[in-house]
Amino acid sequence: MELIMIIGMVWGITTLILGILFAKGSLLLFYDLPSVMITVGGSIGALMVGYPLRKLLKIPTFFRVALFPTKYNLSELIVTIVSFSEKARREGLLALEDDLEDLDDPFMRKGLQLVVDGTDPELVKNIMENEVDQMVNRHDDNKRIFDDWATLAPAFGMIGTLMGLVMMLVNLSDRSSIGPYLAVAIITTFYGAVMCYLIFQPLASRLDVMTNDEVLMKAIILMGVLSIQSGDNPRIVKDKLVTFLPPEMREEITEEVEGS
């Protein structure tokens, strides 16, 4: 579980509440059911117009993916690939077939299977790169829901502001109604901004980071598979793979690979 995600949301909400209390305001001043209906209900309605039901039903899954992301151990991955290169160099590419069923990662298993089957290196590269591209497209398509929601929430906040101002101006003769209508006008914008900047934009950013992590992992696998197919020395394979990593990680992983 990504505790930092929960901590961040709780921290953001807590600082807003403390800001209100330190300003000697009342939390009840910031609760307005009509504003919730306009901002939350309106933005959800817009999503329903723009997306098919099957996509909207996956929103809880996207939240769960963001909260429980897949962790990639790059050092272990590189050690595994180098060990495959050593075996292939020592016993031949066909010897890798015995290890394919034990691989948990389907992307690596598919790449090594193509190599074992004697597929042309350029074709192997094209197939695997296309799979990565399609994965990125799917993830971007899923993330777009939160991007759009981050846009729609403030937009409906502004719509609520306009509605509140219209109702207030129409009823200027009734002074008792000015306060409630003005509350709707202001608080809807507040709700929209909080939904956008505390929830949906950060979620979209987190999903972006997760996609980049997966792309990096697959890029390492692709380079490793092609290096194994070309018969590179295991040390060269290792040197190629660590170039994908930031400098502060390279020495640590190099030591782990050489010590394995």
> pLDDT tens-digit profile of 196-233?
999 999 999 999 999 999 999 999 999 999 999 998 88
> What is the pLDDT averaged over residues 98-114?
89
pLDDT of residue 218: 95
pLDDT at 254 over 70: no
Q: Provide mean pLDDT across the span 24-47.
A: 90
Same domain, 154 and 60: yes
Contact call for residues 229 and 93 (beta carbons, < 8 A) = yes
Q: What share of the chain is helix, strand, coil (3-state, %, to 5)?
A: 85, 0, 15
By the 10 Å C-beta count (0-12 exposed, 13-18 middle, 19+ buried), 248 is classed as exposed
Is the pLDDT at 85 greater than 80, yes or no? yes
Is there a single domain that holds both residue 190 and residue 179?
yes
Residue 8 shares a structural domain with residue 134: no
Assess whether pLDDT exceeds 70 at residue 160. Answer: yes
pLDDT at residue 256, as a whole number: 61
Measure the CA–CA gap between 116 and 92, rounded to whole angstroms.
9
What percent of the chain is modeled with pLDDT above 70? 96
Of residues 24 and 219, more confidently modeled: 219
d(CA 77, CA 257): 10
Same domain, 88 and 16: no
Task: Give the mean model confidence (pLDDT) for residues 177-188.
Answer: 80
Tell me, what's the pLDDT at 99?
A: 85
Say whether both 26 and 55 belong to one domain: no
For residues 13 and 97, membership in a common domain is answered with no
What's the pLDDT score for residue 247? 78
Lowest pLDDT segment from 85-94, 169-178, 237-246:
169-178
Residue 95: the pLDDT is: 87
Q: Tell me how many domains the chain contains.
A: 2
Q: What is the mean pLDDT of residues 81-100?
A: 89
pLDDT at residue number 61: 93
- Residue 98 is which amino acid? D
What gap in Å lies between CA 69 and CA 1, rounded to an integer? 7
Q: What radius of gyration, in Å, describes the C-alpha atoms of the chain?
A: 26
**In which domain, by residue range, is 239 found?**
32-260
Give the pLDDT mean for 145-164: 93
pLDDT band at 125 (very low <50, low <70, confident <90, very high): very high
Q: What is the reported pLDDT for 253? A: 67
Of residues 59, 56, 54, 46, the one with CA closest to residue 192: 46
Which band of pLDDT confidence, cut at 50, 70 and 90, is reported for residue 258?
low
- 23 with 77, same domain: the answer is no
The per-residue pLDDT for 252 is: 67
- Residue 92 and residue 41 share a domain: yes
Same domain, yes or no: 143 and 123: yes
* Whole-number pLDDT of residue 49: 96
Percent of the chain whose predicted confidence (pLDDT) is above 90: 54
Residues 25 and 129 in one domain: no
245 and 120 inside one domain: yes
Whether residues 122 and 93 share a domain: the answer is: yes
